[in-house]
Amino acid sequence: MSIMLKTHHLSHRHDRRLCLDHISVAFRPGQLCVIGGPNGSGKSTLIRLLSGELRPSSGRISLDGMDLRHWQPLRLARRRAVLSQQVPNQPAWPVHQVVALGRSPYTDEDTAYGQQAIAAALDQVGLSDQHQAIYSRLSGGQRARVQFARSLCQLHEQSTDALCLLDEPTASLDPRWQHQTMQCLKDCAARGWTVICVLHDLNLASRYADRLLILHDGDVALDGAPEQVLDDPRIDRIYQLNFARLRHDGHRYLHAVA
Ligand SMILES: Nc1ncnc2c1ncn2[C@@H]1O[C@H](COP(=O)(O)OP(=O)(O)OP(=O)(O)O)[C@@H](O)[C@H]1O
């Protein structure tokens, strides 16, 4: 399968402090790649660089072989969606209007497809019956689901080469919606999309990811199939925890024991 998104010796400094150090990784279409790692290891910085929100201090990122900086913004917005870590405090709009922000790169909000995309995204996050509810009055987890719906409807359902970048999409969700969200991302990857998702929950990663990449001190410490990564004793050192390793239903699960 061809490589779509690639970093080339990517480094980034925040206020002169090196946060990512010469990272060269390639992300394949059709894969759900989870990025893990301790707090401050550079995960959000990497997502923000991959989205084009931040410019690398050195090195570059290519999408379909072309430097990300050279992508025309509207073309990029139709190709990739980003869900950032901070859930925005949008004004007192109805939920469907917040989700419709995902259709901004298009001119079809009022067309049948635009309306259908918004309705399908709301259905995907279980909020169809709340489409008229006022966003600012929803709970934190419900708002996170609305934002997930917004990013889903930004990408055409029939697309086979979309790119989806998500920073901790499950952080405020209850267990059911954590699993629903990960299953939805897995389904997106099955359509050929490149899905890159930051998660702290290694067990969710184990259950759903095709690939697990662990950042540590701004570097790629481990990268591979989830089971292979989770079985690596370096995981315990990176998180400074002792993990018991369990197996259930063909997946590896970690349980912190000290
Ligand atoms: N806007 C900023 N200005 C200065 N330093 C920053 C900024 N954003 C991040 N950093 C620093 O860069 C490093 C990496 O931060 P980043 O947010 O990428 O980590 P992370 O792995 O996503 O962490 P977390 O798991 O806590 O979300 C940290 O040391 C952080 O203090």
**Above 90 in pLDDT, residue 204?**
yes
Radius of gyration from C-alpha coordinates of the chain: 18
pLDDT: is 3 or 49 the higher one?
49
**Above 70 in pLDDT, residue 88?**
yes
Among the atoms of ligand 1, which is closest to the Cα of residue 38? 25
User: How many beta carbons lie within 10 A of that of residue 225, not counting itself?
Assistant: 14
**Above 60 in pLDDT, residue 109?**
no
Please, are residues 218 and 21 in contact by the beta-carbon 8 Å criterion?
yes
Please calculate the CA angle 55-229-39 and round it to the nearest 5 degrees.
Answer: 45
Distance 169 CA to ligand 1 centre (A): 17
Please, are residues 186 and 208 in contact by the beta-carbon 8 Å criterion?
yes
Per DSSP, the residues of 188-224 read: HHHTT-EEEEE-S-HHHHHHH-SEEEEEETTEEEEEE
Contacts of 241 by beta carbon, 8 Å cutoff, 6+ apart: 256, 258
Distance 46 CA to ligand 1 centre (A): 10
Distance 44 CA to ligand 1 centre (A): 7
Among the atoms of ligand 1, which is closest to the Cα of residue 37? 21
Quick one: pLDDT at residue 113? 82
Distance 166 CA to ligand 1 centre (A): 16
Using the Cα atoms of residue 70, residue 98, residue 127 and residue 172 in order, give the sign of their dihedral: positive
Tell me the pLDDT of the chain averaged across its residues: 94
Q: Which of 3-7, 118-122, 213-217 has the lowest mean pLDDT?
A: 3-7
Mutate to test the pocket of ligand 1, among 13, 14, 47, 213 (most ligand atoms within 8 A of CB): 14
Quick one: pLDDT at residue 175? 97
Give the domains, in start order, of the chain with CATH numbers. Answer: 5-256 (3.40.50.300)
**Above 60 in pLDDT, residue 64?**
yes
**Above 60 in pLDDT, residue 10?**
yes
Q: For 139-187, write each residue's pLDDT tens digit.
A: 999 999 999 999 999 998 888 899 999 999 999 999 999 999 999 999 9
Q: Residue with the nearest Cα to atom 30 of ligand 1?
A: 40
Q: Which residues line ligand 1 (CB under 6 A)?
A: 14-15, 19, 37, 39-45
What is the ipTM for the molecules in this complex?
0.98
User: Dihedrals φ, ψ of 108, to 5°?
Assistant: -115, 15
